[in-house]
Amino acid sequence: MNAGRESEGDDLGLLRDSLDTLPSSIVTLDSDGTVIYVNATAEAMLPSIRRGTDFRSALEELTHDQKIDRLLVRREIVTFPGAPGGPELHWIVWDRPGQEGRLVLTVWDTDWNESMNERRAAFTMAASHELREPLTTLRGFSEILNMDTSNLAPEQAEAAAIIETTARHLAVLVEDVFDLSRNSFGELRLNLCDVDLAEVLRSVVSTLKPRVEALGQTLECEIEPGIPSIRADRARSTQMISNLINNASIHNPEGTTIEAEARIEGDRIAIEVRDDGEGLPFERAEDAFHSFRRGASATAGDRAGSGIGLSITKRLIQLHRGEVTVESTPGKGTVFTLLFPIDHDSALTPGEPGPV
């Protein structure tokens, strides 16, 4: 019996020695999110991660909640320093096989340095500014031109309307592209405050209604009484709802009815946008959330088929610790539903499966 225990102890010691020689950091967590093992590499790279430490609390000293959720909930590779002011590191966690709730973390050096990251950020900001300025000018003059088309020939009035519509679309597209860029580097963040989603929905519908009706479509709004305020990003909530309504309008013909509804579903608030249009042009409705994915019916000149807006919407609702669902039937219409947690802080915990 003692010999067996000695052999087991030798094997465990050999395993720990092997882990300590790995060039990557290895950290294991129990089901409560407490650190139970740190190899030698991790001790050097992650000075604040020690045995007995609450892992999420330690991470909150290094980065923001959205990156932590991406790491612990959605199991994505994220990048942030292992110590304040330290070099950027890649982080990833996975479940320990056969041990539900227990996690393994590994961290390794990035293939870029701080200077490269700063240059990338500077380029993104400069490109964003250079694109926004002429688009703003183009939109402004096209809107002025369309205020009074009485002195324009029918062909000129039509061209002016196309210019304004295209300028609006390009402005949204530019913002979405830069949001995708920020998201890919984990820089897409939320400005959380108390938000009345019912009021946000009313505002979005009021803003978009004239544009939708100008296309010969109908936009209606229904709000269940008693919807509470929640912790959310008001601007991003507006962006998500606008994306869904615009998507329903752009991809459907004249005569389509679009209905937006806010209601409580258990511990979440549902914002639903449904239409009775043509349905999504995909074999799987979920493919609509893939960036640059186009349906079989999309044409070469179809400017609205990039899928960026829906892709951004999915990422934004995930940052809110919620999810978006979609159902679509060819020839009968589509239903998108945003699900916001009423209690943001307790919506997800480390190790709990979240939206994919």
Would you kindly state where each structural domain of the chain is located, as residue ranges? 2-111, 113-188, 191-356
Higher pLDDT, 51 or 3: 51
Q: Residue 30 pLDDT more than 70?
A: yes
Q: Residue 38 pLDDT more than 60?
A: yes
Mean pLDDT of the 325-342 span: 94
pLDDT at res. 166: 73
Whole-number average pLDDT of the chain: 80
Mean pLDDT of the 252-276 span: 96
Q: Residue 353 pLDDT more than 50?
A: no
Share of the chain above pLDDT 90, in %: 37
Q: Residue 325 pLDDT more than 50?
A: yes
What is 113-188's CATH topology? Helix Hairpins (1.10.287)
pLDDT at res. 70: 87
pLDDT at res. 118: 59
pLDDT at res. 129: 61
Whole-angstrom distance, CA of residue 213 vs CA of residue 249: 10
Q: Residue 307 pLDDT more than 50?
A: yes
Q: Residue 159 pLDDT more than 80?
A: yes
Mean pLDDT of the 266-295 span: 81
pLDDT at res. 3: 46
Q: Residue 238 pLDDT more than 60?
A: yes
Mean pLDDT of the 124-147 span: 75
pLDDT at res. 189: 76
Q: Residue 302 pLDDT more than 60?
A: no
Highest mean pLDDT among 24-38, 147-161, 299-313 belongs to 24-38
Class of domain 2-111: alpha beta
Could you tell me which residues come within 8 angstroms of residue 220 by beta carbon, excluding any fewer than 6 positions away? Answer: 257, 258, 259, 260
| CB half-sphere exposure, 15, CA atoms < 13 A | 9
pLDDT-derived band at 345, boundaries 50, 70, 90: confident
Mean pLDDT of the 32-60 span: 92
What is 191-356's CATH topology? Heat Shock Protein 90 (3.30.565)
